Amino acid sequence: MTDPERDLVRHTAALARLELDEAEVDRLAPQFAAILRHFRVLESVEVDDAEPMTGASGVRDVLRADEVRPSLAPDAVLGNAPRSSDGFYVVPKTVGGEE
């Protein structure tokens, strides 16, 4: 592989914070070159008359009005908790050891 193709692999690996040895660079350079050849096909696509767009479909988010509604009673919600304390769920500690 040529040095520019190998340099592209090294540069991409650096951006991704990957450490590659020279054997890996040698193995990946032809794959990168093949991928780029596939993308070069897009250069031949005629897009002069294409309208700009921000997405593939015209679907837009449908939002509901933000209305105040009553929530569940705290006792009803905490009734489903295996453990609670002072109106809050008690869950096992996940960082730093035991509770």
Q: What is the DSSP string of the chain?
A: --HHHHHHHHHHHHHTT----HHHHHHHHHHHHHHHHHHHGGGGS--TTPPP-SSSS----------------HHHHHTT-SSEETTEE-----SSS--
pLDDT in tens, 11-62: 999 999 999 999 999 999 999 999 999 999 988 899 888 888 877 777 778 8
99: pLDDT strictly greater than 70: no
pLDDT in tens, 80-97: 888 999 989 898 888 876
**Model confidence at 70: pLDDT above 80:** yes
Whole-prediction pTM = 0.46
